[in-house]
Structures are given as structure tokens and as C-alpha cells.
Amino acid sequence: MIFTPGQPVLDLIACYPAKPREALFALRELILQVATRCPEVKNLEETLKWGEPSYLCKSGSTLRMDWKPREPDFIFIYVNCQTTLIETCKELYADELEFVGRRAIGLPLNMALPETVLSYCIELTLKYHKIKHLPLLGC
């Protein structure tokens, strides 16, 4: 996999308070680990979209993450609300993750990242265009 890091992303995260900063850096690392393990991901670009750290690749849908001062106890993973990604992740992990409508997963800062569950949701997002025609995205 070819990874294009985005300095603006690193600069933005570095400006956040300690807890969300640490959580977002950990989530960023998890995204990169999943992308490295996923053969469908050939090139991953890290950039800012709508002022949020974003990850783009041709095989998948855009994945964004961020922390918002108005909800200081959470970080969020955002996906395109026109996809079936959140619907599928809800079907699989309703008891393990907090969902916000059709576009986000809320991750409480007072808990460790649920890496196993998140890894699978991230993988589905990064290869969405290859699996979107499959029932439950091939799960």
C-alpha cells in the first residue's frame, strides 16, 4: 500500500486537548494498520475534508474522524450517509458501538478503543466500492 500522509491532519490533531488528541492519534494508527492489511487498498490519502481528518482510497468510501468541542467526551468516525456502512455496522455491532444516525460512530473518550470491532468497520469502509453490491457487505 502507498500511503500519502497529510501534515495538515497531524497539525490539526496536535491542537486538540490531550484526551481527544491521544484517542485520534490511536484511531489514525488503527486506520493505517487496517489499510496495510487490506489488499484492496492500493493507495491511501490522508487529507482534510470539511476541516476533518479524512482517509480516501479508490476501493472505498471516504472515512473521516474528528473531535468536536460541543461533544467533548467523544471522538467520532464519519462515513458517507448515502452508503450502507452504518446500517451494516449497526447490524453487526449494535451492542458494542454507539451510532449517530446514518453517518457516525461515537467513541467515548473514557473507554479504550474497541479495536477489533472498529477494525472491521474501517475495513468495510476502505473496500466499500468493491463490496457494496453484497448483502450485508459480504459479512
Each residue's pLDDT tens digit, 50-93: 999 999 999 999 999 999 999 999 999 999 999 999 999 999 99
Question: Identity (one letter) of the amino acid at 31?
Answer: I
| 69 Cβ neighbours under 8 A, 6+ residues apart | none
Quote the Cα angle for 56-76-43, to 5°: 15
pLDDT digits (tens, 9 = 90+) for 10-61: 999 999 999 999 999 999 999 999 999 999 999 999 999 999 999 999 999 9
What residues contact 114, with CB distance under 8 A and at least 6 apart?
96, 97, 107
- Looking at residue 43, its pLDDT comes to 94
Tell the burial category of 122 from Cβ atoms under 10 Å away from its Cβ (0-12, 13-18, 19+).
buried
27 and 65 Cβ atoms separated by less than 8 Å = yes
- 77 — phi, psi (to 5°)? -110, 130
